[in-house]
Amino acid sequence: MSDTQRISLTLEQEDDYAFRIRFDETTIADLMTDEPEPLGKGEGPNPTRLLLSAVANCLSASLLFALRKFKNAPGKLVTHATAELVRNEQGRLRVGHIHADIRLAEAGATHASLERILAQFENFCVVTESVRHGIEVSVSITDADGVQLHGATRTDQGTP
């Protein structure tokens, strides 16, 4: 049995920079994407926002899975993610850094095996670990009391 899995989608241009994404072989609703003005009309997320949301979602789901695996019953997680766009040597925009700040709904001390969970949950995030081959990704986790449990605080990001 092979460990290789394949997922596919179909992207179809609707208008200018607006595209419809169909998630092949699923019942997932189509997603419309668009570039912000002046290229597009900004009527949907653009690829950079999709990348940022994929990293944030994957990290959040990985943390949630790890918490539950150790019989914790966490409240709702809230993740605030930022992407820093930088120019490369040719002057072209690139995602230079992604930071995700995950907020727990309760005090960290209420969770069993938290130290072990925080030490390993990022390793199970398929998207983040794939993206890290080309983009720096940092993660911080803060509990409901404002105690930082994991990672470094980004001083240049807004408060969620």
Q: What is the pTM of this model?
A: 0.90
Q: What is the model's pLDDT at position 153? A: 66
Q: Using the 8-state DSSP alphabet, how is residue 142 labeled?
A: E
Residue 159 has pLDDT above 70, yes or no: no
For 59-101, the pLDDT digits (tens) are 999 999 999 999 999 999 999 999 999 999 999 999 999 999 9
Q: Could you tell me what percent of the chain has a pLDDT over 90? A: 92
Tokens of 106: 């309760």
Label residue 158 exposed, middle or buried (CB < 10 Å: 0-12, 13-18, 19+).
exposed
Give me the residue label for tokens 């820093």.
84
10-58, pLDDT tens digit by residue? 999 999 999 999 999 999 999 999 999 999 999 999 999 999 999 999 9
What is the per-residue pLDDT across 120-144, written as a single tens digit (0 to 9) for each?
999 999 999 999 999 999 999 999 9
